[in-house]
Structure 1
Amino acid sequence: MIYPPRCTICGEQVESDFALCGPCWRDTPLIAGLVCDLCGAPLPGEGGGEAVHCDDCMRVARPWAQGRAAMLYRDNGRKLILALKHGDRQEVLRPCAQWLAAAVRPMMAGGEVLVAPVPLHWMRLLKRTYNQSALLAQAVGKQLDQPVCPDLLIRTKPTQSLGGLTHDNRFQELDQAIRVHPKRAHLIEGRTILVIDDVMTSGATLSASVQACQNAGARRVLIGVLARAAKDA
């Protein structure tokens, strides 16, 4: 009665904690139906059981085996990402982790998967004080009941913001920028790894992270992103 539950996005009163009100729920672009098997972007039509890929993933080679996204990076999807990434609104983790866990669960086929986030360089981590992808990975791992290693991957050099860079420049900027933590390499060999990030645009950061895992001997690497920057189907 003193602190009634409020909508995670707009603050209107709702029936339970960490929930969304009706209008905000309608404006949250959760992905459902037929999706790209490599990035989770929504696709038109109905699936026939075979894997299908979006135009981006047919044009750009993806080093990972499969990928999924919980929502599109627009409308309330963008608001939730920015609230987590720049607003320190960590209460949004609970619903977001539930959505992302539901999206990636079908890829896991019942086996154990080691969950790891895309890393931040220590200089950026010092400025921001937290890695939103690491918080998301921990919450998703808990939802999936799978082990999480928050520092499995490290950034070996600071990189500029990828916003505004061309597709090729994004990949060049991330070249050799991500490595497996030397003290965590023994955790990777022969295992399936699920790499978590908040947003996928070009896939450059995820590609660098996945390649680092593969170089360390991972058997299979999957990706899961909270939001995919893509056109709606």
Structure 2
Amino acid sequence: MLAGGAQDGHHVSMSTRRFLAESLAPVVDFIYPPRCPACGDSVGEQGGLCHACWDELVIPSEPNCRLCQRPFGENGPQHGAICAPCLADPPVHDGISAGTLYGETARKLMLALKHGRRIALAPMLASMIAARIPEIEARQGRIIVPVPLHRQRLWQRGYNQAALLGRQLEKLGHGKLVVDALVRTRPTQSLGGLGAKARKKVLAGAIALNPKAKPQLDGADVLLVDDVLTSGATSSTCVKVLKRAGARTVRIVCFARVLEEAKDLSRRAA
């Protein structure tokens, strides 16, 4: 009876919030007319993109590499093959799912979320990530882990954008979020412009496992969430830590991926 009452109360609460949101939407739109978060043009609803900005987003196409989702193009290998970079240097991860390839519109959206405090963008960006995660992969018991921020950066920004995306993926049914599974033991400099050896040196010992999370990671399938995937050095370090902790598989998921050579091989969002 008690459980049923709690469930009914939760249902009423959700219905009430939905009713209030729908009722107040016209007032909010009147005071704050909906604008495209990427270019500022008028749009039909809060949090949406204008048609021009949607068209600028580049979605990784198929066929693509089974391991890293690198698009092959129409004349390339069949879907599910492995690309030359992955054959030459097998990745430590078990796949990459990127919502978009990094471009001007994707950059604006990430800056708005990351530095502009536009946290209301997280549901839209997470839904684009979710659309790229293979449906055939089991979701039961899957763990969602965000790439961690050092506490100094977290205090300055007020939130971890990767954790915001992870929370939305949890709501979409892609697993259970363990927000503090990984920790940054010290602040690190930007990896931009550094070579592979220099990146490895900067990251050495900078990311560690939270011992409290080990029981949940043992034998688990993990989604490692990042906002933008560039060289992959940070995410690879995280993957290694998670696998040492007992994770069975680790798939990297991100909103945008820097992959300049693949842009011409990808279809644009409709």
**Pairwise same-fold verdict (TM > 0.5):** yes
Q: CA deviation at 1:136?
A: 1.1
Are residues 1:165 and 2:194 paired? yes
Cα separation, partners in 2 of 1:15 and 1:143, compared to 1, 3 Å: same
CA contact (8 A) 1:162 1:170 kept: yes
- C-alpha RMSD of matched pairs (Å): 2.0
What corresponds to 2:20 in structure 1? none
Cα separation, partners in 2 of 1:155 and 1:191, compared to 1, 3 Å: same
Q: Which runs of 5+ in 1 are unaligned?
A: none
TM-score of the superposition, structure 2-length normalised? 0.79
Secondary structure, in 3 states, of the residue corresponding to 1:183? helix
Secondary structure, in 3 states, of the residue corresponding to 2:212? coil
1:1-233 residue pairs with structure 2 within 5 A?
1=26, 2=30, 3-45=32-74, 48-53=78-83, 55-106=84-135, 108-231=137-260, 232=263, 233=265
Q: CA deviation at 1:106?
A: 2.9
Higher helix share: 2
Counterpart CA distance in 1 for 2:113 and 2:70 is: 21
Q: Deviations over 1:174-218 (max 9, x none)?
A: 122211111111110011111010111111111111111111111
Cα separation, partners in 2 of 1:44 and 1:160, compared to 1, 3 Å: same
Q: CA deviation at 1:11?
A: 2.8
**Sequence identity (%):** 38
Q: CA deviation at 1:124?
A: 1.7
CA contact (8 A) 1:29 1:76 kept: no
CA contact (8 A) 1:31 1:70 kept: yes
TM-score of the superposition, structure 1-length normalised? 0.90
Q: CA deviation at 1:139?
A: 1.2
Tell me which amino acid in the other structure corresponds to 1:141: E
Cα separation, partners in 2 of 1:107 and 1:226, compared to 1, 3 Å: farther
Cα separation, partners in 2 of 1:91 and 1:164, compared to 1, 3 Å: same
Counterpart CA distance in 2 for 1:59 and 1:86 is: 36
Cα separation, partners in 2 of 1:9 and 1:59, compared to 1, 3 Å: same
Tell me which amino acid in the other structure corresponds to 1:160: Q
CA contact (8 A) 2:97 2:133 kept: yes
Counterpart CA distance in 1 for 2:170 and 2:33 is: 29
